[in-house]
Each structure stands twice: as C-alpha cells, then as structure tokens.
A and B are shown apart, each in its own frame.
Chain A
Amino acid sequence: DAGVTQSPTHLIKTRGQQVTLRCSPKSGHDTVSWYQQALGQGPQFIFQYYEEEERQRGNFPDRFSGHQFPNYSSELNVNALLLGDSALYLCASSLVGRASGEQYFGPGTRLTVT
C-alpha cells in the first residue's frame, strides 16, 4: 500500500520565479492538504482540496494556489517567489467522512529560494 508521495524532493528557485510541487495521496484517500514548515517551526496549513475544489484555506496570499485532479493527486503552485517562501512543503492525505480524521504525511519538498 503506497503512502503519500511528493515530488520533487528538493528544488532551488530564484526570486520572482514560479514553482509547482506535486503530491499523490495514500491509496484510498480522497482529500489532500498542503502545509508549509519553516525551519524550526511547526507546519502551517496552506489549503485543503476535496472533490477537485479548495475546501479550506489558511492565511496565505493568493500567490499560493492549488489543484486537485480526478485521481485525487494534487499540485501546489507558488508564483512570484520570495525569499521567505523557502521552507519544507508537506502534503497530507486523509479520507473525508472518516471519524478519526487521521492525516498521513509525505516526505516533503524542500524549496530554497535564492
């Protein structure tokens, strides 16, 4: 049973550029959430996708956008990159309607903006 996978593992971009990160949820899961984790901090919720729509959004600017595909995989796009966007980006999957609401995380994508 494949867990949550993310690609790429590492990424280096220049300020002002755009980046796309990808996530495949755990088999059987239909909901994908994205989190940003700055060094030494806990993860911060960016947004959540279910049924190909953004279901909830955290306190992040519109430069952060996403998409969910019919196979439940998801992309996170960040435009006009800033130095402060350097972080570990984590994807989590879960199953809507499951009482426990347990979330499973992928290995993350380390984004460095120079």
Chain B
Amino acid sequence: KQEVTQIPAALSVPEGENLVLNCSFTDSAIYNLQWFRQDPGKGLTSLLLIQSSQREQTSGRLNASLDKSSGRSTLYIAASQPGDSATYLCAVIKGGAQKLVFGQGTRLTINP
C-alpha cells in the first residue's frame, strides 16, 4: 500500500527566505508526482507535476525534484512572500486508474 508522508507538518519562516518542503513515498513504482497548494477551506491548485521519467520541474519561484529510487520529492520555494502562505500537498499516482495518494500536507506561514 502506497503511503505518502510530508515533513514538517507546519513551517513558519520570515519573508524573503528560501525554503524546502519534503515529501516521501513508500512505493517507488509511481507514474508521476504532483504538488498542490490549498488555501484555507478552498480546493486544490496544481503547482507542478513531475512525470516518473523526469528529475525536476520549475515554475517561476518554484522548483520540484523527484528521486524515485529513494522515494523522495522536494518543493523548493525561492524568495518566499506572505502570499505563499498556504498548505502544500504532494500526491503520487500509479499508472492505470490515475488514483492520487496524498500526504497530509505542510502548513506554511510566511511572516512579513
């Protein structure tokens, strides 16, 4: 059974810092990994998707990496801003039926 873990559960940093969020998964036979952002009480916004054949993806100040062999992914946020405050979720998907398995998320607070 695939399990996804995100550490830490919560993180608070001052504005302007670079930071890394971690995601680990137990079954390396994944098809892709997706990072999402969730604002309180809202739906999920897809940030980055990394296919199993890729090592990383970048979008603006965000960079996500994937190491299937070690079962790890990281989301790097450069020059953090108060608007980045949200919960960040990672999810993995196996081939076939496209079922996402989520971690519990990291609640990020950027202090002005």
- The residue in chain B whose Cβ has the minimal distance to the Cβ of A55 is B97
Partner-binding segment picked from B13-21, B72-80, B102-110: B102-110
Asked if B103 and A103 make an inter-chain contact with CB atoms under 8 angstroms apart, the answer reads: no
Asked if A101 and B98 make an inter-chain contact with CB atoms under 8 angstroms apart, the answer reads: yes
The one of A40, A48, A100, A106 in contact with B32, judged by C-beta atoms closer than 8 angstroms, is A100
B side interface size, CB within 8 A: 25
CB under 8 Å from chain B, chain A span 29-49: 31, 33, 35, 40-45, 48
B73 to chain A: closest CB distance in Å? 14
Residues of B within 8 A of A (CB): 4, 31-32, 34, 36, 41-46, 49, 51, 89, 91, 93, 97-105
A side interface size, CB within 8 A: 31
Asked if B44 and A42 make an inter-chain contact with CB atoms under 8 angstroms apart, the answer reads: no
Please name 20 further chain A to chain B contacts, defined as beta carbons within 8 Å, in addition to the given A42-B105, A43-B44, A103-B93, sorted by A numbering.
A42-B4, A42-B91, A42-B103, A44-B102, A58-B99, A90-B43, A90-B44, A92-B100, A96-B98, A99-B51, A100-B32, A100-B49, A101-B31, A102-B32, A103-B34, A104-B46, A105-B36, A107-B43, A108-B41, A108-B43
